[in-house]
Structures are given as C-alpha cells and as structure tokens.
Structure 1
C-alpha cells in the first residue's frame, strides 16, 4: 500500500496538513435523538429503563438489577482464573501506575499574612466516581487500571464500574483488573443507559460525581449530554501517534510504531516526520513488507490510507514546529537527543523519548496515564491524573485588621459596580 506523502516546502502544505488532521466526531441527529430518549427514560424510570435497554441492546435476559451487579467475589475469582503471566503483568502494571500517580497528589496549603489573615487552598477527593469500560470484543483491562488507580490514589471513597457483557460474554481480564485496581462495585451494563444510571442514579446504581472512561459514539454522546449534572473526563477522538525521527532508527521499528495506533480503528491517525526523504522511502518499504503479517492488517491499511502520512521536513527544528501544530495524543521523539527536543515541545499528551521507547509501553505499564487528549486538544488539555479526581476549595479567614483593610478595597470596587449590599457588607467590618 502507499501512504500519503507531504512535504513542508510545498506551498499548500499547512492547508493539506489541516485537512489531514480534521476529524468530525460529532454525533448525527439520529444518535442524538436515541441518546436523549435513553437518558430521559433512565432519569424517569430508573432501574426499569436500564434493564429494558440492557436486555434489548446487549441481548440479555435479566429480570432485576441484582442480576447485573457483579459481586466482589466474582472479581477475585477472575483474578484467580487468569494465567499466572497475565496476573503478574496486571499487578506489575498496577504497581507502576500507582507509583507514578502518587507523585501527582496535591496537599492542602495555607499562609498567614502579616495582619493575621489566613489564605489557602483545601484539596479534597471526589466522593464517588463512575468508570465506563467497553465490553465484549473491545475490552481493555489496561483502561481499568489507568482510570481506577488515579481515582483511588486521589482518595475517592467509592468507584462504580460499568461494563457491558453482550450475550453474557465476560472478559476475565477486565474483571481481574477491577480486582487489582480496587474497584468497589461493578454493574454489567453499558451504552447510554449506563451513563445515564451513573449520572442520575437509579434504585440500584448510585449517582456519581464524575464519569470517566472510553466508549462508542453513543457513550461519548451521552457523556456530553450529562455534563453539568456530573463531571466527565473528556470526549475522546480516535487514537493518534506522531513520530519525529532523524532517520537513524531502524525503519521496521518506526513502521511497527505507526501500526500500533493504526490498529485501534479505521479513524486512528499515524504520522511520521523526518528530514531524510530516503528514510521515508525505507519506512514505506517496511510498511509494505510488514503489513501482511499483522492480524489487524485491514484496519491498519484503512487507517494509514485515510489518515496516515509520511512528512518530509526541512530539519528537526521544523519538525518541532509541525509537531506543536499537530498537538498529538502520543509523540515519539526517535532522535539522538530526545530530552533536548522534548523541552521545545509545547503541545502533546505524552512524549516518548528515544529510539527504545515504544508508545506501546505507555499504553500498558510505563506508569504515566494512557488516557490522553486527542484531536489537537493537547493544546489546552492534560492526561488523566490524580488531579482529575480532586477538588480545590479556596480558604479565606480575615483577621480584624485584615477585614478592615480589605473592606475598604472591596467597598470601592463594589460601589463602582453598583452593588451596594456588597459594599455595605464589607464596610460593616471596617474599623472606625
């Protein structure tokens, strides 16, 4: 297959790049209507609506929500059922993710001014969080770890996981990951009805404060619609990888790194930047030779043909400029001095430095979170972390002297805004 080639020296390069990056993930009217109907039904009828939609969409035959709640013992059973190598990998990954996120914890702080006024910030965890996990064939135990562990490190008291089990098919690794990560309750429900149950609460499913985790277009649409009633992590687009290479890394490595994201789905995006045209030819040859060996070859082929690109840049400085414009979810710096280059990167979800750092290790076990901003939102967003499960409250305690001095300032500003009650409230504390 031939992957699209771009060159920064052509007059229409930036226009062509923006066209390549464009992705419309907006739900159509039909999806919006279906999701709105489901949300309203669950809000009004609770468990009965959740049961109805679960039986219809997931081909289940449940008669009560009790049948759809997975007991903790079943999670532990799954942990015992999986092979020893899988269990060890889950536990090692969980330990690394937990250790990394421990560094993100923020403590409350305060300071006292000269007149005795105390100012500060109080940090508290969310009370209850909902975690959506895809089920059936698209089951990702790694997503359980990446979403649940930061919540637990933050101090979230109760973590409710929802995971669909179409036709009753259960993914033992997902259940085992829930056991390892310390998930508190699990319900075998999915789709917009699961999002609604978490957002509004039902007789059986507790209302949460925030919903995190990936899902299909119906789940993403539902998360967008319930935002405001609850918090959400993000509305994620297709997976992305951008590789900057100086032409000195084995081309097979680069080709496989491009495949690693392209195999997610047909809308995923894989792009390579390099100043060496001959190396781009080598990577093209590696792609052609290795693609037939891949289990998900057709998905990779479609992704690379539709949204992939090999881009020739003038030099590595220009590669940095292009990378900052793209603001990728995953950025590999496969160059001689990746740390120096990383200091020039302003926009990226995660930066993988050096020839030996495959993006794939970040997906599973490096430690940093794999829930990352997509579709250029790395310009203003960050990876999921402990901070997403904490709230900050401002602390203000005026001393008598502080109240008097601050009252004078507040009075002037309040009267300037025409808010007399504000002014007089502050003026009452001014010392004569």
Structure 2
C-alpha cells in the first residue's frame, strides 16, 4: 500500500487572484468565511494585500469586548500605577475607536475609556449589541478638573456655576445632567465617584440614542441609573424597534410594564419581579425564552409566574428565599396544568395553561437547606437538559425520576453520565 500524497495547489495567477478578490468583496460570500476565523486569522488576512485589508478590516472590528484580549492587557497596562505610558494608551484607544468605531456591531464596554471613546464617535451607529454591566475606572493621580469633565460629556450642561469657596451659597458649583433628578454639590477640582458614575450613565444613553438598531442591551450596574425617571428610560427603549434581549441589571423597572411594552422580547433579566406577581390569567408572553431574576425568590412565586411564560426555556435566579416546604407543596398542587401542546385552555371560568418547557435552570447561590425546595421545583421541568445549582440528595433523586433528558449537571462528580448511560441502554433495548 502506497502513501497518499495530495496534489499541490498550482501557484496563483493574475486571473485567479482577481477572481478571488472579486468573490471576497461580496459580503454574502465573505461573512460565512469570516465566521470560521479566529481573530489572529483575520489579522493575517488584512496583511495579504490592500484589497484584503479593506475587505477584512470591518470583520476585525465587528466585535469589541473589553473582557477579552487584547483589551484586558491594555487595561492592565493603563491601570498600572508605575506604568508611565498610561495616557498614551488611552490616547491610542480613542484614536483607534475614532478610526474604526463605525465598523463595530457588538460592543462589550466595561472599560470607561472605551465607552467614552465610542459615545464620542458620531459614526458609531451600527451597534446591534451593547453590553456594559460593571464599569472599570482607571486610577488617576490628580483629580479631574471641571473643564475636563465637561469636555468628556456627550451633551455638555447648559449651565455650570463656579465657586471658589465650598461654603459660598449663591455661586455653588454644580454640574447639571438635565435628565438626572439628583443634584449634588462638588468643589472645584474634585470629581467624586458619584459624579463619575453619572457621566458614565450619560455616555451610555448617548450611545443608545445613536443606535436604534440595537437587538441586545445590558444596562450599567450603577445606582445612578435609578436617578433617571422611568418615563425617560422607557421612552428611550421604545425607540429600539428590534430589541429582543434586555438586561436591566440594578435598574428598578416594573417587569410587567416591560413585557407589555416589548412583547417580542426573547431574553429578559430583571432585579425586581413584583410586577410579574400581578399578571392576569389571560396575560401570556410566548416569545420570552430566557428569564433571569437577579434576586432571591420564593419558588411559590416562580411557579405562578412560569404559567404566564409558556415558551420559556431558560430560568436563572440569584438564590432561593426561605419558605416552608409544606407551603410550596400546597402551591404546586393548587396550580392546575395541562400537558396539551395547544396552549391555554378553559375549564369553566378557570384558565388552564401548559407549563413552560424549561431546558436550562441556573441558581447562583444555594445552601443545603434549599435541597428539598429545588427538588420540588425541578419535578415541573421534565424536559430539563442542563442544571447549574447545588444538587444534593433530594434534588438528585428528583432529577433521576423526572428529568430523563438531562445532559449537564454542574458541580456534581460524574455530572449527568448516569442519565446518558440510561438513555443509551434504553435505545439499545428498543433496537433489539
């Protein structure tokens, strides 16, 4: 048997090069190619020729994520107290965003310099995803002066009053962000952390306003977001006609209002679930696929909410609030369900709905005392595929008896291997 040797490719000719360049220039053909490339591959492509540089550069900048390389390394260097070229790094980031900001489609901006640079770039209008969350601020040896602060704002205040004396009443210096209800007093030459956060909020909303095509939006984890009126926030969100994924972080908006105003939402993460507890029996939000509750919740409340979300596939909660297990059992027995795939049905004056098809269930924080409560809840999730929670004896037993299709069980030795073996054995028996 002889070894197989592939036929070497012929060297490129002018005609073949022209043809390849022409094909790469077509976006519909280029994008499927780029989807299989890693960032280093794209960097190599832009060095091939001027034509390839023009074609592949936009793809290189489609995604900017400050939580990944090379942005993380830049931030560490910039934030290092003993690294002299800090200001040069910041200037380079601003210049880079100014040149390529119009190519960005997906932006994860946890670094305040990047958020500042993108918000200041009027050409950055093509975002479909904007994720902020926690914001990192670089250290400064000297305090910011008022002139620097005003220059950094996308919308400078109409009036700024100066005071040389902190006790001067008629000429107290303040920086007025027009949409913020809170007003604080600041001494000249000093910008405290509260004002710094408000500037970040201003930049965030400026960026939202100039990108009406946003599909995914994650709010900053900043208390200053709640200084805004709810009417202002909802007005800005209603301008996003394509919005499907909304993470409100710590912003206190009513969940029921959000679902009513945005019935096409597929993913929602909220801090306060009170609004969900007053949904009427007829309110059904079938498009929602992922619900995140960024707080500790009672499972009795979760059960009531789930029956308004028949299309829900992923449920994520921060933790389990303490409640009597007997009360949870009673609640489970009192909620009528039907396994009919035809949606809500009527039994006299009572609306009976199908339970959601939960496939993924996540709990950030669990204690051994939560075991029986979690076990009772997962009994309602027969199509569960993935669970990330504290799995103790009662929960594991409930998963074995009621969740036949389990594929992943995080934090447990052996994971879901026993479930996989059982399915393989059952398949083998059926094939006999």
* TM tier, smaller: under 0.3
The structure, 1 or 2, with the larger RCO (C-alpha pairs under 8 Å, 6+ apart) is 1
* Structure whose CA Rg is larger: 2
The structure that is helix-richer by fraction is 1
